[in-house]
Amino acid sequence: MKKIYANATEALDGVLTDGMMIAAGGFGLCGIPELLLEAIKESGTQDLTFASNNAGVDDFGIGILLQTKQVKKMISSYVGENAEFMRQYLAGELELEFNPQGTLAERMRAGGAGIPGFYTKTGVGTVIAEGKEHKDFNGETYIMEEGIFADLAIVKAWKADDTGNLIFRKTARNFNVPAATCGKICIAEVEEIVPRGSLDPDAIHLPGIYVHRIIQGDHEKRIEQRTTRKKEDA
């Protein structure tokens, strides 16, 4: 089975459709599938629903798809760095489904495990719980959350072999693993593709059985908020 593709556009060929749900890895701007997001923008695909920790910033990450009005709905836990997101939401142009961060990760993980729903205490008594089933266990109230089953998962890894085994680097591991598992098709962009057998099996974070297509490319790795100290006087 061919898994390695020449570029993001080729890897997405025949996969994108209007109205689809996409699970995207990344946390802030760390570990986001920036090349695949750019190719989705260039494809012109419309009415997309994204399940992602956040929407990037105005000119990077999912933010570039907000600028072109290709996103219909966001399922996210944090959206505070994106002014265009705020404008579209307040104007009623964008649907938003807020999820606590751990709940979002578990919804993706559950979908990847074939679990349609689970109960959690997070969000009980808040707007998050409105319209959701409540159930008591051992005297405590829980709400039911549904697993996320995406049409497509896009993730960014550090290394891959040609079978799709992936290793993520440090914080970039974040939402990438659960996002990858919950998509019917998973496309991974990586910094390096290494020969089969060269990865330590104990170091693999995501088995290749979850990954259908791989691309290698150069990444900007932009820093979301740079904090530095003032230079001390000599």
- pLDDT tens digits for 93-136? 999 999 999 999 999 999 999 999 999 999 999 999 999 999 99
What mean pLDDT comes out for the span 138-165? 98
Q: Are 23 and 108 in contact (CB under 8 A)?
A: yes
Output the CA–CA distances (angstroms, integers) from residue 209 to 12, 89, 94, 185, 187, in the order listed. 18, 37, 34, 11, 12
Residue 55 belongs to some domain of the structure: yes
Residue 21: which CATH number? 3.40.1080.10
| Enclosing domain of residue 179 | 8-115+148-216
Q: How many domains does the chain have?
A: 1
pLDDT digits (tens, 9 = 90+) for 170-194: 988 999 999 999 999 999 999 999 9
Residue 127 belongs to some domain of the structure: no
Q: Confidence band (pLDDT; 50, 70, 90) for 234? A: low
pLDDT confidence of residue 83: 87
Residue 191 belongs to some domain of the structure: yes
Question: Whole-prediction pTM value?
Answer: 0.92
Q: Name 163's Cβ contacts closer than 8 Å, sequence gap at least 6.
A: 3, 196, 208
Instruction: Please say if the pLDDT value at position 202 is more than 60.
Output: yes
pLDDT confidence of residue 233: 63
